[in-house]
Amino acid sequence: MRTGLLFGGAMALLVSLPASLYASLPAFAIDPALQRAIDAPTRTAKFVARDGARHPGAELGFFGVTPRATVVEIWPGGGYWTQILAPLLHDHGTYYLAMGTPDGDQTEREFQLSPKFKAMLDANPALYDKVKFTMLGAHHPELAPPGSADLVLTFRNLHNWMEAGDTKQILAAIRTALKPGGILGIEDHRANTRSPQDPKADDGYVRQDYAIALVEKAGFKLVGSSEIDANPRDTADYPKGVWTLPPTYALGAVDHAKYQAIGEADNFVLKFEKVGS
């Protein structure tokens, strides 16, 4: 408990500092159980290679994930976070994967349990045998039993909800699943504040102020923001939107070295608390 309190205090100090100072700060201690999950040899090499851009220990620590928590991850994509969260929560916590739905819009269908994702889980049942599968979409609001989740985490999905026009419904579903005072952690690609926000976020970028307003209107309170995933090289104005950058490289070989040098997108990391019961 003392370790958690010290880490939480350190992270609170960290996120209160300007981004220009963040890079010069020493690394803070990460919960040993979380570090073991990050260092596990069962993680896919291509995911490990992205740790320098995604900072899994710092980000999950910032959100307040512990080995005994009940955590819902929404639309896990390829499984980057699943490969860390499943072993971390295996023995003492509860881990829900809220997948896409077969009867929703195109994006919801894309985030269904794919054969490739299922094969990853089936290859290591000792790690993934306790994962609880649910669905989340505009017409499937029960991502976990009401009032059961300590944390709901979504990584780079808010822009998808905006594109589909179902942000309001999904945020309501998340709020229902969370305990009073539960935490919603959101990471997404940060748009340039000099440009107006496209309500559909067609380029994959979302203004941080716009995101905060959306979520707070849905019954949450912002309790922290972090520059863990900041990338000042990202100008957020590319021919194929955020997918121009790694790891997607939507332009293929065109200017590949240029976009490789920029790196993964500049991302905001926001921590919200559920307001009320």
**Domains of the chain, CATH where assigned:** 2-274 (3.40.50.150)
At 212 the pLDDT is 98
CB atoms within 10 A of CB 263: 15
Higher pLDDT, 173 or 101: 173
Q: Which two tokens stand for residue 263?
A: 């790196």
At 150 the pLDDT is 98
Kindly report, residue by residue over 167-198, the tens digit of the pLDDT: 999 999 999 999 999 999 999 999 999 989 99
d(CA 45, CA 47): 5
Q: Which two tokens stand for residue 213?
A: 């307003």
d(CA 264, CA 252): 15
At 24 the pLDDT is 35
* Percent of the chain whose predicted confidence (pLDDT) is above 70: 90
What are φ and ψ of residue 94, in 5° steps? Answer: -135, 135
pTM of the complete model: 0.89
At 28 the pLDDT is 58
Kindly report, residue by residue over 118-163, the tens digit of the pLDDT: 999 999 999 999 999 999 988 889 999 999 999 999 999 999 999 9
Task: Give the N- to C-terminal CA distance of the chain in Å, as an integer.
Answer: 26
249 exposure class (CB count in 10 Å sphere: 0-12, 13-18, 19+): middle
Kindly report, residue by residue over 47-60, the tens digit of the pLDDT: 999 999 999 999 99
Whether the ω angle into residue 247 lies within 30 degrees of 0, i.e. cis, is yes
At 210 the pLDDT is 98
**pLDDT of residue 213 exceeding 80:** yes
Give 74's contacts (C-beta < 8 A, 6+ positions apart).
Answer: 98, 136, 143, 152, 153, 154, 157, 170, 174
